[in-house]
């Protein structure tokens, strides 16, 4: 019976995507094992290590869908690994040619290379999800380039920004993650074929030729030296997933805070009944944001697990390898769930520019006190200007008036800045700095090319 959120009939699509689940389903894992064994036979026939007719028979006869999975499980429980039992069954399927199966290989060669094939497919799904999020964020940044809102530091009003600027900051991270995926692919999408202790001794002087032919059959890169106990590639992969979901969690956190009743500046897409409460009919909870945050924490923990798995002993590890069997599928599943929720969130995000402006005006112009200070400093010097504007701010807070009203009553201000200039300085629209130009610069950057896997 399904026992985790990743395979639960209730929660599996909240914490993962069906396409990603299909990549890591146990039937798919077995199919990848078979794919590698068949490719190995083809590579060895090409080099002349086994007869060509045997490799042809193996390609015709080896069928993953004919594997008795219950029998394979029983032998896996006995041996501790699935490849011995798999080869037993494949050998029976292939008849006389079965004697050439798994020639010169070790269990970890097959399992590692199969995992790389899964990772290749999984990274393509992550890339597609990031590309969709990028497109949605480009649209938001462009549409809201001039939608003024309060920028916040330490959860307090700081200076005016635009919502387009906020979306562009999010966008910059997504673009960089797509670049990271392209950069890690040559390091990670490399197969493994090294034999019992990594030296391919059983194949004599044909070992490297078989190795290279196998990678050619599978369309994988060729490592210069085996990585049986050098697990940095997989650890890097899951660490990048941690970065991806960390960014999605940052976006989700911002949206959750903007969804608060007291803020109400942006909302998850409206779907009747979504985010409702069993007892409070008025509720509209940030469900996608919450799921993204949960997924990000799952991935982060698995990234730590992968770093633990790097401490492998000698030429074949006694335990850390098995940690990857848990961490890699869970990390990819949670990442796919986070990306699905993020795409839904960003493509349908509801933005309320009027509420943003009302919130911006809550402090009666105090949010642009810096603008007044800098303008006044041209006449009085910075420190004197700071003290003058600070006094006006305190008066506005104490009396519940506006910054403009207090400034207009101060001769030490009005002797330098007239009414029109003060009105201009205390309008947040006029204090956006380089934010619009920054948005344009980012939007002008070319979208990263698709990941080549």
Report the C-alpha gap between 401 and 408 in whole angstroms. 12
160 DSSP assignment: E
Report the C-alpha gap between 171 and 142 in whole angstroms. 11
How many helices (H) and strands (E) the chain has is answered by: 19, 4
Query: Is 154 in the active site?
Result: yes
- CA torsion through residues 83, 84, 85, 90, sign: positive
> How many angstroms from the chain centroid is the CA of residue 220?
23
From 263, 235, 48, select the one nearest 155 (Cα to Cα). 263
From 8, 88, 102, 154, the catalytic residue:
154
Say how many CA atoms lie within 13 Å of 276 toward its Cβ: 9
Which residue's structure tokens are 């698709």? 450
Report the C-alpha gap between 252 and 250 in whole angstroms. 5
Asked if residue 268 lies in contact with residue 349, where contact means CB atoms within 8 angstroms, the answer is: yes
**Helix 320-347, helix 287-309: angle, nearest 10:** 160
**173-195: b or e for each residue (b if 16 or more CB lie within 10 Å)?**
bbbebbebbbebbeebbbbbbbb
Query: Is 228 in the active site?
Result: no
Which residue's structure tokens are 């003058």? 388
425 DSSP assignment: H
The residues that bridge with 161 in the sheet, in sequence order, are: 149
Which residues form the catalytic set?
154, 277
């Amino acid at each position: 019976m399904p026992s985790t959120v990743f395979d639960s009939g209730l929660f599996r699509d909240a914490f993962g995507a069906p396409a990603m689940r299909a990549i890591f389903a146990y039937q798919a894992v077995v199919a990848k094992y078979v794919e590698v064994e068949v490719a190995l036979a083809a590579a060895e026939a090409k080099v002349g290590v086994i007869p060509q007719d045997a490799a042809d028979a193996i390609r015709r006869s080896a069928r993953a869908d004919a594997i008795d999975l219950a029998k394979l499980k029983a032998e896996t429980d006995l041996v501790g690994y699935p490849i011995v039992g798999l080869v037993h069954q494949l050998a029976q399927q292939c008849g006389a040619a079965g004697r050439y199966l798994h020639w010169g290989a070790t269990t970890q060669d097959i399992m590692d290379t199969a995992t790389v094939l899964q990772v290749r497919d999984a990274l393509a799904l992550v890339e597609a999800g990031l590309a969709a999020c990028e497109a949605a964020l480009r649209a938001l940044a462009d549409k809201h380039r001039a939608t003024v809102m309060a920028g916040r530091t330490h959860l307090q009003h700081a200076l005016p920004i635009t919502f387009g600027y906020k979306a562009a900051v999010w966008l910059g991270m997504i673009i960089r993650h797509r670049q990271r995926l392209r950069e890690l692919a040559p390091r990670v999408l490399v197969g493994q074929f090294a034999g019992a202790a990594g030296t391919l001794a059983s194949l004599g002087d044909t070992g490297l030729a078989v190795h290279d032919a196998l990678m050619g059959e599978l369309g994988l890169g060729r490592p210069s030296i085996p990585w049986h106990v050098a697990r940095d590639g997989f650890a890097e992969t899951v660490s990048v997933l941690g970065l991806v979901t960390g960014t999605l969690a940052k976006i989700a956190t911002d949206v959750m805070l903007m969804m608060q009743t007291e803020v109400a500046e942006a909302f998850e897409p409206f779907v009747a009944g979504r985010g409702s409460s069993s007892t409070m009919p008025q509720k509209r909870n940030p469900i996608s944001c919450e799921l993204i945050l949960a997924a990000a924490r799952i991935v982060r923990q698995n990234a730590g697990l992968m770093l633990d798995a790097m401490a492998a002993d000698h030429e074949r590890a006694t335990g850390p390898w098995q940690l990857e069997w848990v961490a890699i599928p869970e990390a990819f599943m949670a990442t796919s769930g986070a990306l699905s929720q993020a795409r839904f969130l960003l493509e349908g995000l509801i933005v309320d520019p009027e509420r943003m402006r009302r919130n911006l005006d809550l402090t009666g112009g105090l949010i642009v006190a810096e603008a007044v200070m800098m303008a006044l400093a041209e006449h009085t010097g910075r420190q004197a200007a700071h003290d003058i504007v600070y006094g006006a701010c305190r008066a506005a807070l104490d009396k519940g008036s506006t910054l403009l009203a207090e400034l207009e009553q101060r001769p030490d201000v009005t002797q330098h800045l007239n009414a029109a200039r003060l009105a201009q300085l205390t309008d947040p629209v006029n204090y956006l700095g380089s934010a619009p130009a920054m948005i344009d610069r980012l939007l002008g950057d070319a979208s990263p090319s698709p990941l080549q896997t």
